[in-house]
Amino acid sequence: MRAFAPGSVTAVFAPGETSDQSKGASVAIADGVIADVTPADGRDADEPAVTVEGDPTDFEPVELALRKLDVTARADLTAEVPIGRGFGASGAATLATAIAANAEFGLGHSREELVAVAHRAEVEAGTGLGDVFVQNRGGLVVGDGGEPRSFERDAPIEYVSFGPIATEEALADDDLMATIAREGTAALDALPDDPSLADLTGEAWAFAEAIDLPTDEVREAVEAVESAGGTASMAMVGETVFAVGVEGVLPNRTEVCPDGAELR
């Protein structure tokens, strides 16, 4: 059984005392991850097995989700976005796997239960705090996992990625996370009630600079977008720049995914 989950670009986030109290502003994008889940057999019969583009790999949140669902399965992942570069690929892979496994094995879980399984697996693995809530809904999502606000948006998004930033390391840095909590809350509070993607991206860049994450390459890409009349910022967490209001400035172009994860 196959399922797709959109990637997501987190523009701003603020960790809470618990993972369910974390909040942010993110956009689901049309490029995502497809999970093809089948029953495990042979050497894979005792443990979940995961491949990415056909290559066996350790993918902890996906493996945790399968264990939480109490199935021994093989999950073959096809990623349309770079993994580990701020596109929520681990969340998309985990959510798509949970949805596909539920259908493949006739588990009968509700959508809400599957999202909760994927979220807990991400948090336990240290690979994300709330990506799956965005990937479940689609569009522009602002708030926390409890009652986020969703907005339909259709502006094209351009992006470029220079490399990964280890999410696990960032989430484990107490001083950095304290700064992110303070600055992220301020950025989210500054958003208008009905934010455009340009509104969000502008606040996101102020947030990225306040927490001192942008590299020289990121700054140069943002300056190129601004020189062309657009707005750009840095994806959380990756050495990745996303932009709105330009055409042909950054090498990759996608769009907002209006719908959430689904069976394929």
pLDDT at residue 19 in the model: 61
- Asked if residues 150 and 72 have their Cβ atoms less than 8 Å apart, the reply is no
Q: Are strands 49-52 and 73-79 parallel, antiparallel or unpaired?
A: parallel
**pLDDT at residue 174, as a whole number:** 83
Q: What is the DSSP letter of 49?
A: E
pTM comes to 0.90
Per-residue pLDDT at 201: 97
Residue 237: per-residue pLDDT = 82
- CA-to-CA separations, 98 to 29, 37, 38, 105, in angstroms, rounded: 19, 9, 12, 11
pLDDT at residue 179, rounded to an integer: 92
Residue-wise pLDDT tens for the chain (264 aa)? 999 999 999 999 988 776 667 789 999 999 999 999 999 875 555 677 999 999 999 999 999 999 999 999 999 999 999 888 889 999 999 999 999 999 999 999 999 999 999 999 999 998 887 899 999 999 999 987 667 888 999 889 999 999 887 666 776 778 888 999 999 999 999 999 999 999 999 999 999 999 998 999 999 999 999 999 999 999 988 899 999 999 999 999 999 999 999 999
Domain ranges of the chain: 1-264
Do residues 23 and 144 make contact, with C-beta atoms less than 8 angstroms apart?
A: yes
What is the structure's pLDDT at 18?
67
Written in H, E and C, the secondary structure of 177-245 is: HHHHHHHHHHHHHHCCCCCCHHHHHHHHHHHHHHCCCCCHHHHHHHHHHHHCCCEEEECCCEEEEEEEC
Q: In the CATH scheme, what architecture does the domain 1-264 have?
A: 2-Layer Sandwich (3.30)
* Residue 221 tokens, joined: 């890409």
Compute CA distances 207 → 24, 187, 232, whole Å.
Answer: 12, 6, 12
pLDDT, position 79? 96
The per-residue pLDDT for 46 is 64
